[in-house]
Chains A and B, each alone.
Chain A
Amino acid sequence: MKNKYMFGGIIIIVFMGIMGYLFTETNISYEENFSKIISSNKTMKATGSWVKEKSFHVDKQNKQFSFFMKDYLGNEMKVIYNGTIPNNFESSTSVVVTGKYQNGSFHAKDILTKCPSKYEEQFDETSKS
């Protein structure tokens, strides 16, 4: 009886340990301040918005898609994504990119675009500001 609990306990501890280790190892944090992203070499999820004025660029030869993104403080950075424009990109209000900042631009592995779910809300904000 005692042995059973000991055995079970050890398995649980080992399992939790491995899981905890992998959790911290694969952990990606969200960052809203781009200056922190630029100074770090870790993989992060950058949240901000697309700088519409600077448009975006599709490089067919290298199959790259690039655009500028800014954070809530107005910091801008260039984002390069190996792939094509995601669905919904043009109408997105906020963008979440996962990747690393290297050699002067943010190399995204993944782009997530969030679209206004209600046009009124969007209008409400613009009309207030």
Chain B
Amino acid sequence: MAGNIVITIGFLTGLFTIFMYYLTYKGYENTLIKARIGYHLTAIMAIVASILLFHAVLTHQYQYNYVFNYSGSGLSTGLLLSTFWGGQEGSFLLWVLFTAVVGIILLEYTSKRGDLEPRVMMIFTLSLTFLLFLVTPLLKSPFNFIWMDPSFVETKFLNSQYLSLPFMQNFFFEDSAAGKSFVKIDSQLYTLLTANGIAIKDFIIEGKGLNPLLQNFWMQIHPPFLFVGFAMSAVPFSFAMAALIKNDYKDWVKQAFPWMLSGTMVLGLAIMLGGYWAYGILGWGGYWGWDPVENSSLIPWLIGVASIHTLVIQKKTQSDKSAGRFVKTNLILAMLTYIFVLYSTFLTRSGILGESSVHSFAEPGMLVYLLLVIFMVTFLLIGSIGFISRWNTLNEDFDEEEGVLSRELALFTGAVAILASAIIVLAGTSAPIFGQAVEIRFYDELNLPIAIIIGLLNGFSLLLKWKSNKSEYIWKKLLTPFAISLILTVILVLWGSVYNLMLILLSLSAIFSIVVNFEIAYKIARKKATHIGAYVAHIGIALFLLGVVATSGFSSQDSLDLEKGKTTSIFGYDLTFEGYQPVENGEKYAFNIKVEKNGSSSIVAPVMYVSSINNSLMREPAIWNMFTRDFYVTPLSYEDGGGQKHNHAGRSVTLRKGESVDHKGNKVIFDSFNFPQDAMSAMMGGGSFSIGANLTVDGYGKTYKIEPKMESDNGNRKYVSAKIDELDLLVEMTNLDASGSVSLVLKNISGNDETIAEVQPEVLSIEASVKPFINLVWTGVILMVIGFILSAIKRTKEA
């Protein structure tokens, strides 16, 4: 309850702050201090609300609908923290939190720079207030109680000692198809429970838990970075609006610059953290799959990068009289960066991508859909109205024509190329709105030539001087680096057998960009080491592109079966499956594979487990990371050796639901468990019950249905076998596992089984792939981040 009150107060103080900043802008004198207090109060409320949610998660307060749905008691502290943003409501609150904190720094920053604060903070607080509105109790608050909307909760999450209470009986619902029973928790039940002195948090004793795909370290770090990036993208928008409000377009450029750089850096890092997560843990096999959710955050990043380049031009071309070149472009791009962050949120949170994305998000309902549209349209309108109302001033001739061969024009062309890439991604990603989709090659084929252009311009623009250049001068400067790049490319092509023209061109453009940037960075580093940021980032993107060439053009992949103890070769690697062992308290199994090549070796251990949350087999890849390549193993399936373990005569098999086995010309299929309704309650009560396995046997043109059983009487298990006389088949059950598998022994009724005691080997099926030079991708990203940080530091000093 406290959480909802705090959020509501925060929302109201947010509105107050906007109003006070507006009055300050209008010239009132004593309102600025009120606005500042108002903002800090809003920020404090956001922080307090977040602390309350963390507290609720850590102390397992399952009376909150959100905590019940996304958290569970079995999670480690780190994972518990990540359930904060495991669902929609919490991730909105995380966004609120970071926006609030960024705003505190922004307030401090703008308060020191003339009359900037009221205009910037008015707009920025508006965006924070909008976000707070989304998490207010009427909409998507993570603090809403579970009984506020009737919800069906499975009995396994409830305290069984209360289930037998007389008034409970009206709230039971059975789902016989799934073999589950539910309790309907609504305000009526809440009243009854409270009247009987039972607190709801003692009644609901377990949460549903976190999606197993999210249970890893990267879930703890990717979303926070992403939301810091999202939060920071509101800053350039606020600066651009502030410039429009004042109708002065000069100073905002240098003031917004460090924010633009650091925001883009964080967003880019967040995107690639997601890429690494997909590669290293989720087992997508690559770092980028052009999934709509990945794409949606790439669009604002690309726009941000383009705007950094046009901002450089404006800043460089400014004089005492002129605000510089590309005034309009810069305003538009700064605002679009944020608008596309909102668009990204709309795409991923409105449920519109429901069927086209690997990421699954809960259907949020019509209300959230509408609100997200309103959020986006509001900021689009604010930007457009501001822009149009200043059209006359904006259209005054700031234009000082530059020469065709100038760094300005080359940079601008580069920015246009980056924007073209953003438009491509936007078109493909928006297709699901219209019930369409595009194949992956849409992105690949269109972005490839653009990447080549970007790489070339990346090097070429730096050889040009500002304003204008004589063409002879260019040729002279171009000759050496281009010759070096050409030689390096030829070596690369011959050594790596690169025979695809587009990939050769991309390699050339990337190498050219490295050569030029390296030369300049080297020269500058000796004088002013802090000024090399841009060049480091450029080398980063070029290395990244080379990594893309290597991994997309030269990866090899195949699937194979590994028999335990036997060595199998693939792509020149010798693989030996050495057995498995339980990991993480026996919840998961790691399969050890010894990989050898040219005398060096490593043990890779991909993991498989059946998740109790979704009852599915989950697989985690394992990687042998070498300097020049990754050896990447995805586990597919594992077959137990059967016969070796059991001493029964006959043949032992373990079948998962739906699997079948061929036995002496008969096909035995495990269809389902027969799990009678009373078995559940008997299981809890300790009474006697039986669970059967429905088997279908196809033999000699006839189909038989049999059902061996497991009977339990006060905890003593007993198995009842089934037989088919016509087929001379006796089926004994030896074990059954609630996760969906059953162990059987198939025998002849007549008993002469000794002759067929076949010993099957343990077989692990895997998919193996070699990813050459994937380290270039990660190195490129790290260099880009370092470059951005260096530039941001330099520009902060200038601002």
Q: Which residues of A contact B (CB under 8 A)?
A: 1, 15, 18-19, 22-23, 26-30, 43, 45, 47, 55-58, 60, 63, 84-85, 87-91, 94, 96, 112, 114-115, 117-120, 122-124, 126-127
Contact = CB atoms under 8 A, between A and B. Distances in A.
A15 B445 contact: no
Interface string B515-559: 000000000000000000000000000000000000000000001
A56 B438 contact: no
Given A15-B420, A47-B355, A55-B671, A87 B559 contact: no
B48 interface: no
A4 to B, nearest CB: 9
Which of B153, B356, B618: most chain A CB closer than 10 A?
A: B356
A55 B655 CA distance: 13
Interface residues of B, number: 56
Given A26-B442, A27-B437, A90 B152 contact: no
Contact of A112 (B355, B362, B618, B637): B355
Nearest 10 interchain pairs by C-beta: A120-B152, A55-B658, A26-B439, A26-B442, A117-B362, A84-B636, A88-B616, A28-B437, A26-B438, A91-B614
Given A63-B559, A90-B657, 18 more contacts: A18-B446, A19-B423, A19-B427, A23-B431, A26-B442, A27-B436, A27-B438, A55-B657, A84-B637, A87-B213, A87-B617, A89-B616, A90-B615, A117-B362, A123-B173, A123-B175, A123-B178, A127-B173
Main SS at interface, chain A: mixed
B289 to A, nearest CB: 11
A18 B449 CA distance: 12
A123 B172 CA distance: 12
Contact of B446 (A1, A19, A30, A120): A19
Contacts of B354: 114
A23 B659 contact: no
Interface in B115-163: 151-154
Contact of A87 (B361, B616, B671, B740): B616
Contacts of B60: none
B465 to A, nearest CB: 21
B616 A28 contact: no
Interface in B461-516: none
A87 B615 contact: no
B69 interface: yes
Contact of A115 (B153, B428, B614): B614
Contact of A90 (B420, B428, B441, B740): B740
Interface string B194-226: 000000000000001000010000000000000
A29 B559 contact: no
A94 B182 CA distance: 23
Contacts of B363: 117
8 contacts: A55-B671, A60-B561, A85-B617, A87-B213, A118-B362, A123-B178, A123-B182, A126-B177
A56 B439 contact: no
Interface in B393-440: 401, 420, 423-424, 427-428, 431, 435-439
Contacts of A124: 152
Contacts of A45: 355-356, 437
Contact of A114 (B213, B360, B442, B446): B360
A27 B438 CA distance: 4
A119 B360 contact: no
A120 B177 contact: no
Interface string B180-197: 101000000000000000
Interface in B561-595: 561
